[in-house]
Amino acid sequence: MVEAMASESSDKQWADRKLFKLTTESLINLKEIRAASEVRWVGGSQKGTDQFVKRGYVVLNISDSATQRLRNLATDEDTSIAVPETFDVGEQAESEGVWTGYHRNEDESQLNADQQRYLCFARELGIERDVYYGEASADAWTDGRTYIVITDSERRRETDTVGIPERSKASLQAGLKFVDSLLRV
């Protein structure tokens, strides 16, 4: 399919099909890729690239087979698939002031009361991984096996319960009261 795009005649046929993955796992088509001023090829979901996709940048995930084939064809001198030049995520982040870091707080005594409460609540949920608190552009992240790091970057405040069913609100409030009681002991 991607190879078929390399021929001039079928290029138009494939240009509008959303076949390629961004690092946010959403799909994009060849026309949208070509419309970008620059693109970035990233293996897997490199931390922080989600912030660039949210800002309209095209950061392609080459762990997806179709996207990897597109990259191979785009960098092959013998094919005719043209894509924009690439940009460096780190340099772009620095120039725009976008924080792409993920930081796990090692010293829990430095957490404020809300952060300690949410961390304790998360640990009491019975998750079979170590749970830590951190700072990031995402709500949470994990290594996929041994730990989860939660943040308050985009989390809902206790008072922001729009769209949460009443039963869930009551459970959440009861859980937070339980955590508060644990922290006061």
CA distance 132 to 152: 12
CA distance 83 to 110: 47
Q: What is the mean pLDDT of each run of 10 residues along the chain (185 residues)?
A: 56 80 90 91 71 84 90 82 80 72 79 85 82 77 77 49 51 63 54
Residue with tokens 């290594």: 143
Sequence spans of domains, the chain? 2-96, 103-184
CA distance 1 to 66: 8
pLDDT the model gives residue 185: 46
pLDDT the model gives residue 18: 92
First to last CA, the chain: 62
The pTM (predicted TM-score) of the whole model is: 0.54
CA distance 41 to 74: 11
